[in-house]
Amino acid sequence: MDKRIAVITGAAKGIGKAIAQKMVKDNCQTILVDVDKANGESLAEELGDAAKFILCDISNDKEVNNLFNSVVKEFGGVDVIVNNAGIIRDNVIWKMPVEDFDKVVDINLKGTWLMCKVAGTLMRDQKRGRIVNIASRAWLGNRGQSNYSASKAGVVGLTRVLALELGKYGVLVNAIAPGLINTPLTQKLSEEVQEKLIQAQPTKSMGQPEDIANAVAFLCDEKTQFITGQTIYVDGGKSIGAGI
């Protein structure tokens, strides 16, 4: 079977790394996109010929255009885009610097929009494709995350619009909203804070990056033909109302 071409942003570590590993396992030629050159190149070497690392700041439109020009030139097109790259700069709103709001929105929302703009145009012309945007359960609201929650709410809205615009061209667009996932970020939290967050979960457990990767793989599977514009929560049930 010919390999599909998958582009994963924020692929160097954490959830993005797990998604990249899953895409390679599912016979995709996988493009690892990140600003973390060291970890990105290390992962590409680990995954072998099925993976290639490209350094790219997704908030820069010229770099995004260069990224896709390079991919199309080498591989002929793009079949799957997973917009996973994101950052956090948490604080209550009265203590949050304006630049922290701008930076989070610039990467999480504008960067995702730029990737979707170029990839969506390519996929429209190809008349096929899958776009999966990694949102967050936090789009429903989290204390101290007025910037992050707003950016991820924007990703959910963007996903719905693109599903409407691209559906007739054979392009399916969905979002995944992770909850508490065992990543390098959560590992930095104290054991006390981690346990408090876990106890707020209906499952009383923390998810793994592979849980997100499996959901992405389902949405990108060629057998999945009639799901678009949806946000799938992978959050141990937290979105249904569990609270601390």
Q: Which two tokens stand for residue 62?
A: 């010229």
CA distances from 128 to 26, 131, 238 (A): 18, 10, 34
Quick one: which H or E segment has residue 235? none
Separation between Cα atoms, residue 196 and residue 203, nearest integer Å: 13
- Helix 146-166 crosses helix 98-105 at what angle (to 10 degrees)? 30
Q: Is 78 exposed, middle or buried (0-12, 13-18, 19+ CB in 10 A)?
A: buried
Q: Is 110 exposed, middle or buried (0-12, 13-18, 19+ CB in 10 A)?
A: middle
Per annotation, catalytic residue among 101, 113, 139, 148: 148
Verify whether residue 148 is a known catalytic residue.
yes
Residues with a known catalytic role: 148
